[in-house]
Structure 1
């Protein structure tokens, strides 16, 4: 019980701290660019035309809604985090205590069993918390059109149920689930391969090295599965009655596969992945005269 409470408190703290970052990321993902590009330099020192990063974007939001506005959507996101932590822990507990690996017995069969167990727990948590995730995204995206359709948690639930029915609460669920599952299997499989074949078991800091390899492979897996996150978020706000989920900001997608194909064709599968070094997307026409700095 104490461990669960500490996980909830820690998760809630991290959620609060990261809320402005997620807010900016979501607005960029839907293609909202309220600020013109600026002149910057790449890692080679060459002048380039780039879009404003996280801090400029956050400052723009704060200039309109105040600093408090940077925490729009925090309540449903906190509900999602707390509920997800509880469900995840309960499912793991009910599925039985995982087999503790003995030293030197890190077989791939054990990795499969542990990964399957974790996959079931994560999928259950995602399924239960996705309605709160949808409300979080829509409350953020309404900044674009200055709407107030999804302001309160209860009002948002009633609005979605009235306009879209039960299925509205699960918009974008399939790509989100697929992304989580693929990322988990990639991370654990790569970590197993690295720990088994790349690291020397005789090293005194073996456990520490394995933890580092797990973090690195997790980051690598999340990068590869980012398109699923992007498609899921776009489908969650697609055609929901908000300006940010409708043309000209966003086309009306018929399915998440249609969304994937359109983004891939336009070369936008990584949109929102970077918040600091943001190059101007291909095909966009911005006025950014590099000669002004010469």
Structure 2
């Protein structure tokens, strides 16, 4: 009876957490939508002359608020919520998959619930036990993250492609079941996991960087228990900055050559692999696009015409070639 009550409480907590995240995702979706378009390289608003924070002449791109207003001006208020449904479904599937896996005999065999300890308790353990606890926690987090990402990735691909349709005004990816068929028609079974590798590498690398850095900083540099609580948050900011280019490659590969204008030239080259995408974005200094959503500057080719700084975009090059 007690076990049944405990399981019911876990179920209620899980669905309560899912509902909370769904609410947050719904509120923030217009900005997430705009960020995805920025990451895949769609810049419909021409950059304007401006200056950087240090006074250097530059071409400024619209910030995230202006970008959302542009989306609304084109598609209306409801258009700001393209891709929300598959995104919410992906989050729910990820959470449920992880929770169910954590309850499995296989998981409990290697990560018994009695060994799960809070960080404050781990810090009080003798050094060998403390190190082992950190390693075990990291391993558990990596396994859970892999399970969640793999389970939800097909729905994430649908969400990204649904949002990418804004670029060309298509309606190919419409509804979850219709989109699943369209993904298979365009790219086969592998299409459901387009961009999976860079996404997994980004997630796992971030976990490893945060966990290992937090452990060594708290062990060798910080003695104040109150300050140790903030180490993980501070390190997470640095780690996500390092791995961010992979989170740009992931949506690019999910959209690339999928039958949408957003995934083919002139909007985007057709990449042979995610490494090809990484090399290309690095070569044009766009591997971190979308990392700063407030102060955004055009980093592509620029010329001075009649004393004014002017951007040369992809369309200009295609016009010259034709």
**Which residue pairs with 1:125 in the alignment?**
148
**Which residue pairs with 1:104 in the alignment?**
124
1:256 corresponds to 2:274: yes
**Max Rg structure:** 2
Which one of 85, 92, 105 corresponds to residue 95 of structure 2? 85
Distance in 2, Cα, partners of 1:93 & 1:218: 28
SS at match of 1:66: helix
Which one of 37, 41, 46 corresponds to residue 27 of structure 1? 37
Q: Does the 8 Å contact 2:64/2:294 carry over to 1?
A: yes
In structure 2, stretches of 5+ residues that fail to align are 1-9, 310-322
TM-aligned CA deviation for residue 46 of structure 1:
5.1
Higher relative contact order (CA 8 A, sep 6+): 1
Distance in 2, Cα, partners of 1:284 & 1:59: 26
Matches within 5 A, 1:55-204: 55-94=65-104, 95=107, 96-97=112-113, 98-100=115-117, 101-105=121-125, 107-200=130-223, 203=224
Aligned length: 286
Q: After the TM superposition, which of the residue ranges 10-19 and 54-63 deviates more from structure 2?
A: 10-19
Which one of 263, 284, 289 corresponds to residue 308 of structure 2? 289
Q: Does the 8 Å contact 2:186/2:259 carry over to 1?
A: no
Q: Does the 8 Å contact 1:53/1:275 carry over to 2?
A: yes
Distance in 1, Cα, partners of 2:232 & 2:103: 23
TM-aligned CA deviation for residue 284 of structure 1:
4.8
Q: After the TM superposition, which of the residue ranges 135-144 and 272-281 deviates more from structure 2?
A: 272-281
Distance in 2, Cα, partners of 1:115 & 1:164: 34
TM-score by length of 1: 0.91
Cα distance 1:68–1:118, how it changes in 2: closer, same or farther (>3 A)?
same
SS at match of 1:216: helix
Query: CA offsets per residue over residues 199-219 of structure 1, 9 Å max, x none?
Result: 21xx4xx2x533321111112
TM-aligned CA deviation for residue 99 of structure 1:
3.3
**Which residue pairs with 1:217 in the alignment?**
235
Q: Does the 8 Å contact 1:32/1:249 carry over to 2?
A: yes
TM-aligned CA deviation for residue 89 of structure 1:
2.3
SS at match of 2:80: helix
SS at match of 1:270: coil
Q: After the TM superposition, which of the residue ranges 133-142 and 215-224 deviates more from structure 2?
A: 215-224
Q: Does the 8 Å contact 1:37/1:286 carry over to 2?
A: no
TM-score by length of 2: 0.83
**Which residue pairs with 2:245 in the alignment?**
227
Cα distance 1:103–1:72, how it changes in 2: closer, same or farther (>3 A)?
same
Distance in 2, Cα, partners of 1:48 & 1:161: 43
RMSD (Å) for aligned C-alpha atoms: 2.0
Which aligned runs of 4 or more in structure 1 are off by greater than 4 angstroms? 284-288
